Structure 1
Amino acid sequence: MRLNLGERHWLWLIVVAGLVLRVAAVLAFPHVPEGDEQAYLSMASNLVHGQGIVDFMGNRAMYNVGYPLFLLAPIFQVFGENLLLVRLLQVVLGGVSIVLCHAIAREAGAGRLGRLLAAALWASYLPAALYVVYLQKENLLTPLLLAGLWLALLLARRPSYRLAAACGAVFGLIALTGNAGLALLGAAGLALLLTPAGLSQTLRQLALALATLLLVAGPWMWRNAEVLGSPVLNTNGGFNLYLGNNPAATGMYMSIGDTPRGADWAALRKTGEVAASATLRADALNWIASHPTDFATLALRKAAHFWTPPWHQGRDQPSGAEALVRKVWLVQYLVIVLTALASLPWLGLRRPRAGQAGPAGRNLTLLWFALLAYTAVHMVFYVIYRYREPIMPLVCVLAAVALEQFVLRRRERPVIQIASA
């Protein structure tokens, strides 16, 4: 990716500003790990101490392995259980995401202004800074999703077996880190199918990408087949499906104790992770089959929850500083999302001829397709607001493209610029 000197300097300034904001969040907001964070910490700690990958509740594959395996465990192995170093590494990953926003904006046809705006919007988005404090998989999933989609867009413009293998490997890491991220496989596959390469080469690239995905995720699935008797990525699929689809479901996360299965959950757990998940999956599917209208209505409610502006309050009475941060977050969110909607007029989807760069409208369409697919996954399960964060960089890219087009129109310049090699 070639940048002129001025653009490179501006990009580095934006990255540094984003890193400073994230470090400030780490220093200013003390946080004691809880819930899922404790599970990830225990998985990494037990692995480092020779007890294998098992969480504090005794589960061996309830949670995705990617975050504790690739981020927590290496730090624990070398430096001990130093949570400050973990958070600083998450700050670095935040910087990587800022650069990837710039790169994706470039593939989406943005000019210099749009590319820098995409990076700046994500660098300054407050939740992106605050979430580095939390020991959650989203800190790793976000740059992985961006990298996978960027590689797919590159493939759509420049067929390459090397890029296909890299894209498959990244999606293998996504499979291990957060299953919901596999929703972007559709957008990635569509991008590859629209490449200017011939059909035979395209199919070979698809096969190579899938092979490298399985090569990365396969060993973990093999381990689970040996340990649990089933080659799964994790054992929470049925659990999560049931939480989002039962007679008491609201669309948001709920405790298993608040569902009809709450009374016998302890006994069900004793049947094993795989069996318990299968039972809950069957319960959820039975409820869906017998209540199709309720399921459809609930799915739409989940989509609304997923994109609901952050005007909710925290669990405790917020301090003055927290209240101010929440107000700024709300304003940022509304501006970014509403501006992203203005990118819709430039959508388009067609296959370019050999030797030509893909049109900007096509890649914008692929970004919107990725957004819709990621939303659709959560319409099937349930919503926690932080689940939205890994996809918000794409919203920032779309908002940046729309803002640039507004500026260009005001200057009476061409409206769409084609990404160049």
Structure 2
Amino acid sequence: MLMRLRMDRFAAAVFVLALLVRVVYNLTVAAHYLPLHDSQQYRDIGLHFVQAHCFCLHGNIPTVGRAPLWPVLIGLLSLIFGPSDLFARLFLCVLDATTCVIIYLWVRELLNARLALLAGISAALYPGLYIYTGWLYSETLYTFFLTALCYVLYRLQHKHQRSVGLALLAAGLLGLLSLTRPNGLLMVVLFVAWLLILGWQKIFNWRLVLRLGIFVPLLALLLIAPWAWRNYLVAQRFLPVATGDGTVLLGSYNDQVAHKPWDQMTWLNPLRSVPQVADAFPLYTCDARCEVGREDLYKEKSLQWMQTHLNEMPALLTAHAVNLWVPAVHEADLPTDRFPDQLSSRIVLILMNVVPIPIFLLAAWGLITSRRYWRDLLLVYMLLLVTIGQSVAFYGVPRFRAPIEPLLLVLATYAIGSCASYMARRQHANVESTCT
């Protein structure tokens, strides 16, 4: 009992440290932050939702261009604390500090208490997590749900008596992931694949695989269903969460991006990169059906470009993969890029360029050293592959690494644990040889 209380105190310490780091970041680096770009759209949709009861970006024109959960949360927070974006960012601070605690708890069960504390402190101080609390993008929310889902499924895998509560929680997290980002739906497919592999490995019996494979995705889809119905009513098209993939593809595959240096082969708004296509649609009066038609045309044009530029595709896809692993995140709306001359920004920028490198190296070593226990980390491996695959297919920037940063920290801690075990065995062997 005393040991458990002590562990709980460690979890509380991780939370307090992580929260302190994030609040300080928001009150220094992001002190003068005002939402622009995607952040402004999230905020405007959220405020419109609670004030005019319309999920709209411009006027009273319904939109299907954004997943609903984060804008709605911003709107609900504004009802309680007012329209200032600071309170939404402080909410993200609490959420991200909780992510650090989940990392601590996960490593504690996976390895031991000492390494768990190391992982929790590392997560609290890791810039690849806390920088996203300083703007109103959905990265922090999505990362929290994904990390929680990984931990819940790890618990479900290792409980001797399978818990209905854990299954319900997994279903809820899958639904919330999907309502946070459209690609969250892919996690439902990944969950089923994870179940099938565990059934094949006889960790789950096939009856349990069948039950979970039907029950959990069904509940997750039921959570999404009301929003999918709303989308059908406004767009006259089946659309589970949101559209936007056409904009991503056309902004990634065009002449302007293809002729840039490799580190800039990312994405350029079709309004600038392919204006002859984008100008066919109104900028502020495009309703839901118009948005769906626009995305269909954008996808068609991007696929045409790929087919006629096959020689340029290998370099472009390689750049997508490599750019995912650039250490520092640079985005137009990120506070460190908005206010680079502040002393606090310069300090964080140094940390952003330096700290991820040893984490990447340790995580790579963790992938190697954990291969004997691959079943425990199966979902981690699958998520890494899917994230890399999505970045190659669409485009790669360090921001797309955000959801897997906690997984990298878990793998890095695993590598440290393996090194510590190896050193302990060597020391024990030396002592034995000395004694003999």
Give the alignment's Cα RMSD to 1 decimal: 2.5
Identity %, equivalent residues? 25
* AA matched with 2:295: S
SS at 1:267 equivalent: coil
In structure 2, stretches of 5+ residues that fail to align are: 259-264, 331-335, 428-436
Q: Cα distance 1:286–1:264, how it changes in 2: closer, same or farther (>3 A)? A: closer
- How far the C-alpha of 1:197 sits from its partner, in A, is 2.9
Give the equivalent residue in structure 1 for 2:34.
32
Change (3 A) 1:53 1:393: same
CA deviation vs aligned residue, 1:74-126 (integer Å, no higher than 9, x gap): 2122333132221221111012101111233245x222222222222111012
2:328 aligns to what SS in structure 1? coil
Alignment of 1:325-344 (within 5 A): 325-344=348-367
> For 1:245-256, what aligned pairs fall within 5 Å after superposition?
245-250=253-258, 251-256=265-270
Alpha-carbon distance, 1:320 to partner: 3.9
SS at match of 1:309: coil
Q: Distance in 1 between matches of 2:78 and 2:402?
A: 26
1:183 Cα deviation from its structure 2 partner: 4.4
Matching of residues 298-309 of structure 1 within 5 Å: 298-309=316-327
SS in 2 for 1:362: coil
Partner of 1:352: none
Q: Normalized against structure 1, the TM-score is what?
A: 0.87
TM-score (norm 2): 0.84
**Taking structure 1 as reference, are residues 124 and 317 closer, same or farther at Cα in structure 2, changes over 3 Å only?**
closer
Matched-pair contact (CA < 8 Å) for 2:322–2:396: no
Q: Are the structure 2 counterparts of residues 213 and 317 from structure 1 closer, same or farther at C-alpha, using a change threshold of 3 Å?
A: closer
Bigger RCO (CA 8 Å, 6+ sep): 1
Match of 2:432 in 1: none
Q: Corresponding residue for 1:223?
A: 230
**Matched residue type, 2:361:** L
* Structure 1 residue 188 corresponds to structure 2 residue 191: yes
Distance change >3 Å, CA 413–CA 227, structure 1 → 2? farther
Cα contact 1:66–1:176 (8 A) shared by 2: yes
1:153 aligned partner? 154
Runs of 5+ unmatched residues, structure 1: 350-359, 415-421
Q: Note closer, same or farther for the CA distance 1:167–1:220 as it changes in structure 2 (3 Å cut).
A: same
Q: Identify the residue that residue 84 of structure 2 maps to in structure 1.
A: 82
* 1:212 matched to 2:219: yes
CA 96–21 in structure 1, closer or farther in 2 if over 3 Å, else same: same
In 2: Cα distance, 1:235 partner to 1:155 partner: 33
Cα 1:186/1:374, change in 2 over 3 Å? farther
Could you list the per-position Cα deviations for residues 208-230 of structure 1 after superposition, in whole angstroms to 9, with x for gaps in the alignment? 11101111111111100001111
1:240 aligns with 2:248: yes
Is 1:324 matched up with 2:347?
yes
Contact 1:168 1:209 in 2 (8 A): yes
The residue matched to 1:49 in structure 2 has which SS?
helix
C-alpha contact (below 8 Å) 1:153/1:188 kept by paired residues:
no
| Aligned-residue offset at 1:187 | 4.6
Moved more, 339-348 or 298-307: 339-348
Q: What secondary structure does 1:411 align onto?
A: helix
Alignment of 1:360-379 (within 5 A): 360-379=373-392
User: What is the aligned partner in structure 2 of residue 353 from structure 1?
Assistant: none
Contact 1:243-1:381 within 8 A present in 2 as well = no
Q: CA deviation at 1:256?
A: 1.4
Q: Which moved more, 1:218-227 or 1:188-197?
A: 188-197
1:277 aligned residue: 295
Instruction: Give runs of aligned pairs for residues 46-85 of structure 1, distance below 5 A.
Output: 46-56=48-58, 58=61, 60-69=63-72, 71-85=73-87
> What is the DSSP-based 3-state SS (H/G/I as helix, E as strand, rest coil) of the residue aligned with 2:111?
coil
Q: What amino acid sits opposite 2:79 in the alignment?
A: Q
Q: Which residue of 2 aligns with 1:15?
A: 15
Q: Give yes or no for the alignment of 1:400 onto 2:413.
A: yes
SS of structure 1 residue aligned to 2:420: helix
Deviation at 1:203, TM superposition (A): 1.3
1:163 pairs, out of 158, 166, 173, with 166
Does the 8 Å CA contact 2:253/2:302 hold for their aligned counterparts?
yes
Of 261, 278, 282, 1:265 maps to 278
Find the structure with the greater CA-based Rg: 2
Is the contact made by 2:250 and 2:299 (CA closer than 8 Å) also made in structure 1?
yes
Structure 1 CA distance for aligned equivalents of residues 266 and 194 of structure 2: 32
Identify if the C-alpha distance between structure 1 residues 278 and 363 changes in structure 2 by more than 3 Å, giving closer, same or farther: same
In 1, Cα distance between equivalents of 2:74 and 2:362 = 36
Q: Deviations over 1:329-361 (max 9, x none)?
A: 222111111111111223447xxxxxxxxxx43
CA distance in 2, matches of 1:184, 1:304: 24
